[in-house]
Amino acid sequence: GRCTGGGLSPALVLAMALLCALGVFLGAEAAQRVPRPQTCDKPCKGGNCLFEGCEEAATCAGGLCTFRRCASPSCDGGACTFHECADATCDGGGCKFFDPQTTLVDGYCNGGGCSLNGKQWKSRFQNELSY
């Protein structure tokens, strides 16, 4: 094949460039989502919620939630972050735990792939000491 010079119209090239830029922008926005504040007594079904100071067990079915200073928070959807929480559990896996206020128990991360203070941490440690 030989190029006949017809090529793409400038309008089509511009439209494609705008779509590409929009896709990059939306991808960057999704990677830096700000969690939505959520009341402690209401489960977060859609994910990406922020729970702070919950004295009752707060739950995140959708994943990607952030918990700060909460008692017995749980993340069924995975990929949650726990800051200074007590008795936190991550059945969905891939959660990050920072400065837990209680000892992590065997099965705290049933989904696997969790980290503690920035370091990968075992999900199961029956018959072992933990942090």
pLDDT tens per residue, range 10-33: 765 565 555 555 444 444 444 568
Specify the pLDDT at position 124.
76
Distance from chain centroid for Cα 16 = 31
Confidence of residue 122 (pLDDT cuts 50, 70, 90): confident
Q: What is the DSSP code (8-state) at residue 116?
A: E
101: containing domain: 37-126
Asked if residue 16 belongs to a domain, the reply is no
Specify the pLDDT at position 94.
97
Which residue type sits at 44?
A: C
Asked if residue 15 belongs to a domain, the reply is no
Confidence check: pLDDT of 42 > 80:
yes
pTM of the predicted protein model: 0.72
Number of folded domains in the chain?
1
pLDDT in tens, 65-79: 999 999 999 999 999
Asked if residue 81 belongs to a domain, the reply is yes
Asked if residue 46 belongs to a domain, the reply is yes
Cα–Cα distance, 17 to 80 (Å, whole number):
35
